[in-house]
Amino acid sequence: MLTSNRGRIQPPDLDDRTWQDLVDQAVALIPRYAPQWTDFSPGDPGRTLIELFAWLVEGLTYRLNRVPEKNYIAFLNLLGITRDPAVPAHTFLTFKTQSSVTTPVLVPARTHAQTQGTETEAPIVFETDEDINVLPSNLQTVLLVAKPTTAVATYTDITNSLANAVVSGYPVTLPGAANSTTSATPVQLFLGFDKPTTQPIQLRIQLSQPAPVTISGTTTQPQVTASWAFSTGTNEPSSWTALTTTGATPQVADNTNALVHDGVISLTIPATWGSQAPSAWATVDPSPGNSEIQNALFWISITLINVIPATTTQAPSIQIGFNYILFNAVSARNALTITSPETLGQSDGTTPFQIFQLKNRPLFKRPGTDTPYDHLTIQVNGATWTQVDDFLPGPGNVYRLNPVTGEINFGNYNTTQAQPGTHGTIPPTGAQITATTYRYVAGGTSGSVGAGKINALSVPISNIASVTNLAASFDAADEESIDDTLQRAPLELKSRDRAITAEDYEVLASEASNEVAIVRCLPPHLHDDREAHGAWNVGDPWTFAGINRAPGNVNVIIVPNQGTGIPRPTPSKDLLQEVQAYLDKRRTLTSALRVSGPYYLPVAVTVSVSVWSRAITQGLINSEDDVKTDMQNKLQNYLHPIYGGLDRNGWQVGQSVFIADLFKAIMPDENLGFITSLTMVAETPAYTPSTRPTQPPASQVWVNVAEYELVCYGTSSAITATRI
């Protein structure tokens, strides 16, 4: 059988003898050294001593055989290849002012908020990334307004899904146009605030399923339009005043690009903003099951329209998944800034390449910037020195940083005895080395907390009534294991910090951030004669799922590890920008690079299971629902992109699903019952446009996944359990 090690030089075992080999060799020497010893059976006391000796020697040989591995690790340390550091948990903190406050309250950057500690556990502290002006207003209500063909629209209260702890998210479906001569029916979100303000309103939106786009070459065109309006008194919602998006002073600044990606939408509402009670609306009524809202609130509406053109048939509908809509919220991480300067030591003035170590490590890596560690300030005798990647020849008040180990490294240029070939100045004799400020990672996955758990300020702020996280923290990762580092090192050495091949892009994308769990690089792909079709010719580039696979284009798909609670992990805008910037520095100039999130293909599974009646009577389970619930959990776990599969190591982009493996993963214990039927089918893809290459006919044996798709749990899956 061929293995991945075929043709590779493997480090030999310096001693490959096992315990049994040692025992056999010792027993074989007995006649030579102790001819009087004739009982070699395991019950002989002498044989017991031999076995004890063999056990001790086997432990020594194990340590001896680790010597090549230790040499390998020492070699990697020499090359500067270290373990990837921990990544701090990220969340958004929502603040509320005291009810008597009438002006914005500044909450400065580096403000600390924390969970409630216990007698045995210290609180988990998060630090805000930027300043925020908390407005004396609150987002009270979120309504989803549908406009059917009848004159009266209806609203559904979705506040608890999008704007109250614990937010659970909400999918919004935008219908397509019925024919080529009509427009699609709009869908609206109404946001109700308890107080008006003329200050810019910052709405932070995170999407589980962004609005789709049409990609043509380098042009990206959203398939959804968004417009904004505000209530002005007694008029109906259809007559609210529109907010301008163009001109010298636009009232809307939308960096989500019409909900194509996560971001912040800033709205400046004029002083004519007026309150209304939904109970007074004549053209909008509560939908069945929803109570009429009596409170008068100040409303902002966002109108979403599906602009996919219809042809001879109705245009497809679009679904936008909202995770949450946050107001008075700011980004925060489980990464802390030192409270006072750290004294690192004194220079002796002569030793080249002196090293001083920070007390806290690893350092926090700021996303989306070419200088992620510029929050570190190092001073020598009160003068600030400059951080560089490499020392240039000659003198220079510079230093190098190892952010993983927290080591500060100075050069070898001696100002009193200058030598050729020296780089970077040695600090003067007796110079005090001080780190005046820096931010470090306080914890990895230990900072993963649920919604509503961060609810206290470490130091109270005047006029701030409360703080909380409406959604769970995300993007945390622990320090890379040694085994993973040893496995990654050869790939890193092979790529040599430049992206040429698809494998290079995958290695470097994983290196860009420890948050990245799955990477797939899609190189250019042209249709060949086997793929000829009326819609394309031989030599045309693949454009399925809106991905341009023409020569010169490189598409990198990344999937973050956001924990088992997120069934369809999606990279944040910051993570996409971080990976894009990292690869841009290392790609060839002629390559057009696009980094995107996963293209999910939901797999719907239908299962029928028979449950033994005796399993219930014997008390093994309470009812057949227990088996149903257990199989549901197994199914969701098996189809989880990061933690799924039979080995629980997750799925790769383009990896197909086979029913035989699925059967093994979800089958119940034989004492409880058995599966009587099992089918699976691919749902409509969670991305759009949802055109997929021609596939074999639907089969009950496997789901054929395209090379750019990643499987996930299908929401139409169903499990039925019958007692027999």
Q: Is 118 exposed, middle or buried (0-12, 13-18, 19+ CB in 10 A)?
A: exposed
User: Sign of dihedral through CA atoms 30, 35, 38, 43?
Assistant: negative
Q: What is the pLDDT of residue 380?
A: 96
Q: Assign 689 a pLDDT band (cuts: 50, 70, 90).
A: low
Q: Give mean pLDDT, residues 432-449.
A: 94
From CA 202, how far away is CA 137, in angstroms rounded? 12
For 74, the 3-state DSSP assignment is helix
Q: Assign 589 a pLDDT band (cuts: 50, 70, 90).
A: confident
Q: What is the pLDDT of residue 692?
A: 59
Q: Is the pLDDT of residue 406 over 70?
A: yes
Q: Is the pLDDT of residue 290 over 90?
A: no
Q: What is the pLDDT of residue 264?
A: 92
Q: What is the pLDDT of residue 513?
A: 82
Least trusted range by pLDDT, from 338-347, 493-502, 505-514, 710-719: 493-502
From CA 600, how far away is CA 588, in angstroms rounded? 29
Q: Give mean pLDDT, residues 260-266.
A: 88
Q: Give mean pLDDT, residues 410-418.
A: 85
pLDDT in tens, 266-275: 999 999 999 9
Q: Give mean pLDDT, residues 246-251.
A: 86
Give, in degrees to the nearest 5, the angle at Cα 236 between 233 and 240: 70
Q: What is the pLDDT of residue 693?
A: 56
Q: What is the pLDDT of residue 274?
A: 93
Q: How far apart are the first and last CA of the chain?
A: 45
Percent of the chain with pLDDT over 70: 92
Q: Is the pLDDT of residue 311 over 70?
A: yes
From CA 450, how far away is CA 445, in angstroms rounded? 12
Greatest mean pLDDT range, 71-80, 159-168, 218-227:
159-168
Q: Give mean pLDDT, residues 38-57.
A: 87
Per domain, the residue ranges of the chain are 1-65, 90-134+444-468, 139-327, 339-440, 496-596, 599-723
Q: What is the pLDDT of residue 3?
A: 42
Greatest mean pLDDT range, 187-196, 206-215, 513-522:
187-196
Inter-axis angle of helices 573-584 and 502-512, nearest 10: 130
Q: Give mean pLDDT, residues 136-144.
A: 94
For residue 362, say if its preceding peptide bond is cis, omega within 30 degrees of 0.
yes
Q: Which two tokens stand for residue 127?
A: 């630090």
Q: Assign 1 a pLDDT band (cuts: 50, 70, 90).
A: very low
For 564, the 3-state DSSP assignment is coil
Q: What is the pLDDT of residue 529?
A: 67
Q: What is the pLDDT of residue 690?
A: 56
Least trusted range by pLDDT, from 113-127, 164-178, 348-362: 164-178
pTM > 0.85: yes or no:
no
pLDDT in tens, 646-676: 888 899 999 999 999 999 999 999 899 999 9
From CA 323, how far away is CA 594, in angstroms rounded? 24
Q: Is the pLDDT of residue 2 over 50?
A: no
pLDDT in tens, 516-565: 889 999 988 887 766 555 567 777 888 787 788 889 899 999 998 877 77
For 582, the 3-state DSSP assignment is helix
| Beta bridge mates, 713 | 603
Number of residues that this document lists for the chain: 724
Please answer whether residues 502 and 707 qualify as being in contact, where contact means their C-beta atoms are separated by less than 8 angstroms.
no
Percent of the chain with pLDDT over 90: 44
Which residue stretches of 155-269 are H helix?
159-162
More confident residue, 380 or 214: 380
Q: Is the pLDDT of residue 66 over 80?
A: no
Q: Is the pLDDT of residue 4 over 60?
A: no
Q: What is the pLDDT of residue 525?
A: 86
Q: Assign 67 a pLDDT band (cuts: 50, 70, 90).
A: low
Q: Is the pLDDT of residue 5 over 50?
A: no
Mean pLDDT of all residues belonging to the chain:
86
Q: Is the pLDDT of residue 127 over 70?
A: yes
More confident residue, 598 or 214: 598
